[in-house]
Amino acid sequence: MVESKYDKIMRIAKNRGFIWPAFEIYGGAAGFYDLGPLGSSLKDKILKKWRQFYIVKEGCLELDSPNILPEKVLEASGHVDHFSDVMIECSMCGATYEVTDLVKEVTGEDVEGKGKEEIKEIIEEKRINCPECGGPLGDIHDFITMFRTAIGPEEDRVAYLRPETAQTIFVNFSRLQRLARRQLPFGVAQIGRGYRNEISPRKGIIRLREFLMAEVEVFHDPENPTHPKFERVKGEKLRLWTAENQNNGLEDYIEIKVEDALNQGIIINELLSYHLAYAKMFLLSLGIPENVIRLREQVVGERAHYSEETWDLEVYTEDFGWVEVAGFAYRTDYDLSRHSEFSNTDLTVYYQEEGEDDGRKILPHVVEPSYGIDRTLYCVLEHSYTETEEKEYFKFDRELAPIEAYIFPLITDDGLPEKSREVLEALKDKGIFAKYDSSGSIGRRYARADEIGVPYCITIDHQTVEDSTVTIRDRDSTEQVRTEINDLPQKIRKLLCKEIEFEEAGSTF
């Protein structure tokens, strides 16, 4: 059997410690995965980049809130009423299915957003039966996809694991707005776990029940939905698959400059268009190539209850097709007005623009970039995965490599292991994530390091003992340079930060 790309990636991912199904010794639980040592490191590097983009450069305030939310918060947000999937149960064997997934699997038809009656008719018309046992399917009903729990020993307060990190940002709006010195627009970011009790997740790490999110809520004046740095992105090209083209059955995206998409009314406002372009730049910074990135507008019926316009940032994958890695919703003032109402707290603000004589009372609107970090991580794995005649390996962007350097003694004798450990410690002292490996031939060791995407391998040989120099090998070109041990930590650091190119790291020999 031919191994699919996903299978190839997951084979290395499991063997080498990137990612594997959780609770394996108890038979596993669908929709839950562990990140191993390399996966954890890769995740941290993706988040570091994300923080650089959104906290440092965009200046968003960061918030870190509880994962458990009292029911009232989610009643206000509309999730108790709307965060549900449509499910159907087999009357014979009791297997449960998410209806839109089931219909798509059996007929290829996309019924997302259609009413229950309509879907029921399609199921009867196409004579869809239980894929497990062939039995007849029962009625269609809604299933709340939040994990329900309770607070306190008496369990007298219903609560849920949060379906998104956004809600505590809205709940804390007044405090955050003061911290932002009452200026608009301002963004608040939160990185944390989100939960969705999927009815029957069957897409590996693409459909998770617990996932890591990185979200931003950008509060702005609805009369002035602009971004101060729009000039910087207005010439960027975006590939947009509009709702209109989807409704007309056009299976294609248009390529258009940000400013043109805005002027032609394809994207609802400047702030949203800025963030769509910015998000594409973020994916490019992770080494995901431009030709596998597109933005798909959600069609009516597909959008979340709070959104007036939503774009999905999608990355093409071989096994799952286009995968949504982030969503960009124009949430209007929906959340702030609902929380005002449910908490009896007035969340309107008195807003005075710089240079304006009078202020106004407004309820800010929200544009929300929301990333799924696990899916992003998978897309980084897939688009780093490289096969040549000699090897298969993850060609990570060097800023993302989970392990930054490997130290090899050429042989395990003549004091080379001791010298290697000295070099290892010197690198670690400078904060470089380096590891030591002395087992097997040097070729084997290079191959093992390449497989997991280590950008630089440092070899300690007999010349090292004589003149305190070592070789650095570049993963992609396999070329080597020789450099002084004293300069090594600084050279590796500069290479990893892309301050120098490989040829500048030492002399060729």
State the binding string over 49-78 for Zn ion (x if CB under 5 A, else -).
------------------------------
Residue 130 binds Zn ion, judged by CB under 5 A: yes
Residue 90 binds Zn ion, judged by CB under 5 A: yes
Strand-pair partners of 191: 214
Residue 133 binds Zn ion, judged by CB under 5 A: yes
d(CA 235, CA 255) in angstroms, rounded, equals 12
What sign for the dihedral angle of Cα 421, 422, 424, 425? positive
Question: Please, what is the minimum distance in Å from the beta carbon of residue 130 to Zn ion?
Answer: 3
Size of the site for Zn ion (CB under 5 A): 8
d(CA 168, CA 162) in angstroms, rounded, equals 9
Nearer to Zn ion, 98 or 210 (CB): 98
Nearer to Zn ion, 89 or 397 (CB): 89
Whole-angstrom CA distances from 114 to 66, 107, 438 are: 35, 15, 60
- Which DSSP letter does residue 90 get? E
d(CA 166, CA 440) in angstroms, rounded, equals 50
d(CA 279, CA 285) in angstroms, rounded, equals 10
Nearer to Zn ion, 140 or 158 (CB): 140
Nearer to Zn ion, 133 or 250 (CB): 133
Residue 132 binds Zn ion, judged by CB under 5 A: yes
State the binding string over 12-31 for Zn ion (x if CB under 5 A, else -).
--------------------
d(CA 19, CA 38) in angstroms, rounded, equals 8
Question: Please, what is the minimum distance in Å from the beta carbon of residue 131 to Zn ion?
Answer: 8
Residue 92 binds Zn ion, judged by CB under 5 A: yes
Q: Tell which positions 394-433 bind Zn ion, by CB under 5 A.
A: none
Question: Please, what is the minimum distance in Å from the beta carbon of residue 118 to Zn ion?
Answer: 23
Nearer to Zn ion, 131 or 415 (CB): 131
Q: What share of the chain is helix, strand, coil (3-state, %, to 5)?
A: 35, 30, 35
Residue 138 binds Zn ion, judged by CB under 5 A: no
Q: Near Zn ion by CB under 5 A, which window of 5-13, 123-131, 136-144, 174-182?
A: 123-131
Q: Please answer whether residues 12 and 392 qualify as being in contact, where contact means their C-beta atoms are separated by less than 8 angstroms.
A: yes
Nearer to Zn ion, 128 or 416 (CB): 128
Residue 128 binds Zn ion, judged by CB under 5 A: no
Question: Please, what is the minimum distance in Å from the beta carbon of residue 200 to Zn ion?
Answer: 12
Question: Please, what is the minimum distance in Å from the beta carbon of residue 317 to Zn ion?
Answer: 30
Q: Near Zn ion by CB under 5 A, which window of 92-100, 115-123, 204-212, 326-334?
A: 92-100
| Residue choice 95, 256, 268, 485 for contact with Zn ion (CB under 5 A) | 95
d(CA 79, CA 142) in angstroms, rounded, equals 13
Residue 106 binds Zn ion, judged by CB under 5 A: no
Q: Near Zn ion by CB under 5 A, which window of 109-117, 128-136, 176-184, 388-396?
A: 128-136
- Which DSSP letter does residue 109 get? -
Question: Please, what is the minimum distance in Å from the beta carbon of residue 202 to Zn ion?
Answer: 15
Element (H, E) at 96: strand 96-98
Question: Please, what is the minimum distance in Å from the beta carbon of residue 386 to Zn ion?
Answer: 43
Nearer to Zn ion, 95 or 292 (CB): 95
- Burial of 378 by CB count in 10 Å (0-12 exposed, 13-18 middle, 19+ buried)? buried
Spatial strand order in the sheet of 293-297? 61-63, 186-195, 210-220, 365-372, 321-332, 309-317, 293-297, 237-241, 254-257
Strand-pair partners of 144: 84
Question: Please, what is the minimum distance in Å from the beta carbon of residue 108 to Zn ion?
Answer: 21
Question: Please, what is the minimum distance in Å from the beta carbon of residue 138 to Zn ion?
Answer: 10
- Burial of 277 by CB count in 10 Å (0-12 exposed, 13-18 middle, 19+ buried)? buried
Question: Please, what is the minimum distance in Å from the beta carbon of residue 93 to Zn ion?
Answer: 3
Strand-pair partners of 210: 195
Q: Please answer whether residues 311 and 296 qualify as being in contact, where contact means their C-beta atoms are separated by less than 8 angstroms.
A: yes
Residue 284 binds Zn ion, judged by CB under 5 A: no
Nearer to Zn ion, 132 or 223 (CB): 132
Length of the chain: 509
Write a three-state SS string for 287-303: CCCHHHEEEEECCCCCC
Residue 96 binds Zn ion, judged by CB under 5 A: no
| Residue choice 135, 222, 287, 417 for contact with Zn ion (CB under 5 A) | 135
| Residue choice 37, 57, 59, 93 for contact with Zn ion (CB under 5 A) | 93
**Angle, alpha carbons 386-391-397 (nearest 5°):** 40
- Report the interhelical angle of 99-107 vs 116-125 (nearest 10°): 30
Separation of CA 117 from chain center: 35
Question: Please, what is the minimum distance in Å from the beta carbon of residue 128 to Zn ion?
Answer: 12
**Where does this chain bind Zn ion (CB under 5 A)?**
90, 92-93, 95, 130, 132-133, 135
